[in-house]
Amino acid sequence: MVLVSGRAHPQLAADVAEHLGTEVLETETRTFANGELYARYSESVRGADAFVLQSHTDGINEWIMEQLIMVDALKRASAKRITVVMPCYPYARQDKKGRGREPISARLMADLFKVAGADRIMSVDLHASQIQGFFDGPVDHLFAMPVLMNYFKEKVGDDPNLTVVSPDMGRVRVADRWSDQLGSPLAIIHKRRDPKVANQVSVHEIVGSVEGRTCLMVDDLIDTGGTIQKAAEALKASGASKVIVAATHAVFSGPAKERLHCDAIDEVVVTDTLPVPAEKRFETLTVLSIAPLLARAIHEVFEDGSVTSMFDGAA
């Protein structure tokens, strides 16, 4: 097994390597004056089962290109199998055409990595499960739910007033699974998004009772935080006593920190699929490690085991 990492989130790679009982292979990566990227491995990878880990955080296009170049370098160095580990799938929200003359950029990402030489893709909580079909090869769709669930079972598992909330119709299925696991009722926020304006959402109504209850709102990612803030404000306006937010990917663009650190939200819990630097953190933020989950999945793939078994057959 060979584990290599790009420069976007080296701490996550180090944590994954520690759980695997190995080390991240030293890689010479640099950016030239004109922005071109370069990557070379310090040791032979001929015949290796290689895992290329990269988190697509701020400067996303640079990190995508770096990972593509690293995959190409492995292919040309005769690695036996190349698995692209992208904890947060890039361009995942562009998974379909909503209007004419739009791209399906999530499919483009899959095509790029296939051409570069990837044999397999591993990702956590895809924005839409259909993305698995975009790649011509195995896709390991991992779920952060066990990591988050362990935290919440200890924190609010005994709360008889707990209600799981889906922030929109698209996350109802996931929220329903949370509801079953925690033995709590489900509420849904109906919202309408303007397709011509990014990150603009209007919350309309709440389906379900939230008055006097602790609301646990679950989502796959938080970008600018506008959706979550408005949803939390709607819940508090409807009488919710407490609002906790759980999300897998902490994109935290622009005003996210200020929006999430507000009176309407009591706590935000995310994983470190993306790096959360000090300047993006705030008092009510909790960051959980995704490294044990990734390490176990990598081990299962390397040993030709079952990734599905990690999630009780749900994957």
Q: Which residues are catalytic?
A: 191
Q: Six-digit token pair at 132?
A: 């698995």
User: Which region holds residue 115: left if phi is over 0, alpha if psi is between -120 and 50, else beta?
Assistant: alpha
* 8 Å CB contact between 118 and 137: yes
* 8 Å CB contact between 220 and 245: no
Q: Six-digit token pair at 211?
A: 């008055």
Residue 89 CA to its chain's centroid (Å): 7
DSSP string, 10-78: HHHHHHHHHHHTS-BPPEEEEE-TTS-EEEEESS--TT-EEEEE----SSHHHHHHHHHHHHHHHHHTT
User: Which region holds residue 106: left if phi is over 0, alpha if psi is between -120 and 50, else beta?
Assistant: alpha
* 8 Å CB contact between 53 and 63: no
- Give φ, ψ of 207 to 5 degrees: -100, 110
